[in-house]
Structures are given as structure tokens and as C-alpha cells.
Amino acid sequence: MPSTDHPGTQLRIGVLALQGDFAEHLAMLRANGVDAVEVRTLAQIDGCDGLVIPGGESTTIARLLIAFDMLEPLRERIRNGLPTWGTCAGAILLATDVPALDREPIGVMDMTVDRNAFGTQIQSFEADLDIAGMEGPPLRAIFIRAPVIRRVGKAVEVLATLADGRIVAARQGHLLATSFHPELTNDARMHGYFAEMCREQLDAEARAAS
């Protein structure tokens, strides 16, 4: 729902479209009334109130960020308050510590993430998840060659764990990481949750400016 502080303003959220399932994220954000756009360049990102880094191959996206000179500027923008949500590969790239990634991650969320934590595609699965702060029935979470969050820093809040206690969703202020794919379901609540995070950030910036 629109923030009361910004009546009539529509959120604009970019989905990083270097590689991966960005089309599915765009559709889910639009279902939440967001002006969702594909972004492939820094100039396109600069017009956005938030950024989604989609599922895909983390090794590929990491290389493309470096090849197109986007890694450091993107890190800077996220540190300066750009709300950002990473799903699966995106969550890997947000982490400060990824032992199994052969490139530097964006490295903005204080956590350690293990890639392919469940094994090969044959071990990919779906399961019902309770997400802290989300109302209604459990979320059907799709895990595709998924990572897990092995360690979180003090500033990071754990939002969801599997039955065995492994962390699969976390938040650090304006940053959100999920090791599963809400964009592959019919359930747009997680996208609504992130849109709300983007509005909170806009409100905070408006307060700071006034």
C-alpha cells in the first residue's frame, strides 16, 4: 500500500538484468503496484528507489559486474542507502564473506554464505517457510541449487530458518537476502515486504532532509 508520507508517488524499483530470472521479479513487483524496470547500467540504477539482484549464476553475475565496471560504484550506492534485495545468486553477491565464490562479492551484508549448500539440482526442493514479520500462511519457498547463510553479524536480523535451523532469509537495515525464490511462486508478499523497505528508506531520507 502507498506510504501516507508520499501520497500519489509510485515506487520505482530496478531489477538487475545482467543475467538470471529478472522477468519474474518484474512481474511480482508490478503485482505490488511498483514501477519495476530492467536495469543493466549504473545510470539506469540511479533512477531507482530500490534494487533487486535476481536469481541466476553468481559466478556469471559477479564477472559481468566487474567486466562492466559496476562492482565498486554499485557497492558505494548500496552502502549509501540504496535498498537492495538479493535472491539466491543475489544473496550470495550481497554477502561480505563467500568462501566458494571465485570473484569479489559486492560485500555489503555482514554474513557468510555457502554456495550450492544442498548439493546438485537433484537436491533442489520446495518447502513451507514462516517469515518473521510476515502475516498470513507460510510462504512456499523454492530452493534451486540454493545457498544458505552460515553466519550472520550483529547488525543482521534472521527472518527465516529451515526446520533444521539453517538460515535462509535475513535483513540488515535496508538490505534483504533470501536464499530461495519468491519470484517463482504466485505469492507476492515478499516483494510487498521489500517495497515497504524501500518506502521506509524514502521516508527516512525525507526526514533527514527536512
Partner 1 sequence: MARNGSSPKSISSNGNGNAAKNGAGQNGAARNGTGDVATWTVKAGLAQMLKGGVIMDVTDAKQAEIAQEAGAVAVMALERVPSDIRAEGGVARMSHVKKIQEIQRSVSIPVMAKARIGHFVEAQVLEALGIDYIDESEVLTPADDIHHIDKHQFKAPFVCGARNLGEALRRISEGAAMIRTKGEAGTGDIVEAVRHMRSIWAEIRRVQSLREDELFVAAKDLQVPVELVREVRKLGKLPVVNFSAGGVATPADAALMMQLGAEGVFVGSGIFKSGMNERTEAKRRAVQANMASAIVKAVTHFNDPMMIAEVSASIPDEAMRGQSTAQMKPEELLAGRGN
Which residues bind to partner 1, rule: CB under 8 A?
Answer: 17-24, 27-28, 40, 55-57, 59-60, 63-64, 67-68, 88-89, 100, 102, 115-116, 118-128, 140, 142-145, 162-164, 181, 184-186
Nearest to 188 by CA among 3, 20, 40, 13: 13
DSSP label at residue 156: P
Residue of 88, 174, 191, 198 marked catalytic: 88
Closest approach of partner 1 to the CB of residue 128, in Å:
8
183 catalytic? Reply is: yes
Return phi, psi of residue 97, to 5°. -135, 110
Q: What are phi and psi of 13, to 5 degrees?
A: -120, 130
Q: Which is nearer to partner 1, 120 or 210 (CB)?
A: 120
Question: Residue 77 or residue 145: which is nearer to partner 1 going by CB?
Answer: 145
List, in sequence order, the alpha helices (H) in the chain.
22-31, 42-46, 58-67, 71-79, 89-94, 189-209
Work out how close the CB of 142 gets to partner 1 at its nearest, in angstroms, rounded to a whole number: 6
Of the pair 163, 208, the CB lying nearest partner 1 is at 163
CB 55 within 8 A of CB 78: no
Least separation in angstroms between residue 198's CB and partner 1 is 21
Q: Which residues are catalytically annotated?
A: 88, 181, 183
